[in-house]
Amino acid sequence: MRNIWLFFLKHNAFFLLVFYFLISLSLLIKNNSFQRASVWNSSNKMVGSAYEQVNEVKGYLSLRSINDSLAAENALLRNQLASSFKSDSLKQVTVRDSTLKQQYTYTLAKVINNSIHQKNNYLTIDRGTKHGIAKGMGVTSAKGIVGIVLNVSPDFATIRSILHSETKVSAQVNGNIGSLVWGEGNNDSRYVYLKDIQSHLIIKKGDRVVTSEFSLFPEGTNIGYVVENRKKGGDGEMDIKVKLDTDFSTLQYVYVINNLLSAQQIALESQNKIE
Amino acid sequence: MGRVVIINFIRFFLLIATQVFLLKNIGYYNLSIPYLYILFILLLPFGIPNWLLFFLAFSTGITIDVFYDTLGLNAAACTVMAFIRIIYISITVQRDGFDNEPEPSLGAMGFRWFIFYSTILTISHHFILFTFENFKFGELGYTLIRVLLSSIFTVTLILISEFAFFSKKTR
C-alpha cells in the first residue's frame, strides 16, 4: 500500500495530467453533442453583460459607417413609400386589398458578440424571449442573410451564423435551387459555396443568389452574387462560389424575422407524421 | 510570497481581458490566430507545486472557453501544456537555481532559453487546440499549417510583451 502511494507521489504530474485532461475532454464531447444546451456559453447572463459593456465602447468606433449604411437604407425605404410615387392616371380607385396578409415581422437587434475566425461561428444579440425571439427564427442584416437563432435566454439570444459547418440554407440562382454550404475546405468569412446545381445550367459571374421558398427566410432575401463556378467531374453537379452581401467582420445591427404563419404550417405538417 | 501572488493575479486579468476583448477579433482568416493568454501559464513561478500548476492551467483554459463558446477545448490544451512545462523545466533547469530566479521570464533566464521554452510550449498548446477543434484526422495537413502559423503569431506576441516589461536580473 505504501509503495503504491509512493508511486503516485513520484509520478504525480502524469496523473494530474490524466485527471484534468479527462475532465476537459468530457466537457468538450458533452458540449458538442448536446448542442450547447449547457449554460456556460455567451448567452449566459454574466458573460453576455460583459460583452455588452465592451460593445458600448466598440460601437462608437464604427458609428460613421453605421450611419452611412442606415442613411442608405432610409433612402431605399423612402423610395418605396407611396408618397414618393406620382400617379399619372386621372381617376384613382382605392382598392381595399384583403388578399395580402402580413406574413413576416422584423425585430431589430444589436450584435454584442461576433466571431468569424472559428471553425463554427456564433453571434450573440441583445434580444431574447422578452422581445419575442424564439428558437429557429431567421436572422438577416440590412444587406443579406446572417443565420438562424440557436438558443434564447430572457435577454439574449445566440445565432448560428452562415459561417458554421452545420448551417444549411436553401438558396436559388436564376430559379435553380441548391443548398448553401460553408466550412468544407473553405474557411473564408467572405465566401460560401452553393452546391447541388446541375452542371449543364448556365450560371454567369455576377448572377444574384437569393433564398428559395423552402428556406425559413422570406423568398428572395439577398445572399450574395456568383464569383466563380467550377464543374466537378463525374456527378454532373457544380460548385458555385458566392460572395456574401453581409460583411460579417463589421456586423452591428441585425433583423430577426418572425414568420407569423410558421406555427400553422408546422402544426399542419406534423399531422402528416401522425397519420 | 504575497507579492508573487498579487503580480500573477493582475497578470491573469490583464491577459484574459486582452485575449477576449482584443485578440479574439484579430486573425488572418482561419489560418493564424493568436492565443497570448498562455503567457500566464508560461510565467508562473518555478517553485509552484504540480497540483496548483494543473489547477491554474485548467481554470485559465475554462475561463477562455466560456468566452469563446468552446467548453473544454482550451482547458484540454492548457493541461497538456502544463505537463510539457513540467518536463521541460525538469530537464533544463537545476533545482538549486530556484532561489534567485523566481519565475521563468525572459529577463531572468536569457533570450536563448526563453525562446525555446515559449516555442515548444506554444506549439504543444496549439497542436492540441486545433486537432481537438477539428476532431477528425482528415484535414491533418490543414491543421498543421494552422498550428505552425498560429504559433509564429503567438510567440511573436509573447516576445513583444516580454520585451515591453523587460527587466534584467543579475544571475
- Please indicate if any CB of chain B lies within 8 Å of the CB of A20: yes
Q: Which residue of A has its CA nearest to B70?
A: A28
**What's the rounded mean pLDDT across residues A28-35?**
61
Contact B75 A119 (CB under 8 A): no
Which range has the top average pLDDT, A65-74, A172-181, A183-192, B79-88?
B79-88
Among chain B, residues having any CB pair with chain A shorter than 8 Å are 21, 24, 27, 29-30, 33, 50-51, 54-55, 57-58, 61, 65-73, 75-76, 79-80, 82-83, 86-87, 132-135
pLDDT digits (tens, 9 = 90+) for A103-142: 777 888 888 888 888 888 889 988 888 888 888 888 988 8
Nearest to B126, CA basis, from B134, B115, B114: B134
Average pLDDT, chain A: 80
Output the pLDDT for position B100: 61
DSSP summary character for residue A251: -
**Percentage of chain A exceeding pLDDT 70:** 84
Residue B38 has pLDDT above 80, yes or no: yes
Residue A27 has pLDDT above 50, yes or no: yes
Mutate to test the interface with B, among A8, A26, A28 (most CBs of B within 10 A): A28
Output the pLDDT for position B56: 94
Sign of CA dihedral B105, B106, B112, B117: positive
Contact B73 A38 (CB under 8 A): no
- Please indicate if any CB of chain B lies within 8 Å of the CB of A156: no
Q: Name residue A176's beta-bridge partners.
A: A173
**What's the rounded mean pLDDT across residues B23-52?**
88
Nearest to A249, CA basis, from A115, A149, A140: A115
- Please indicate if any CB of chain B lies within 8 Å of the CB of A37: no
Burial (0-12, 13-18, 19+ Cβ within 10 Å), A176: middle
**What's the rounded mean pLDDT across residues A213-220?**
82
Q: Which residue of A has its CA nearest to B69?
A: A41
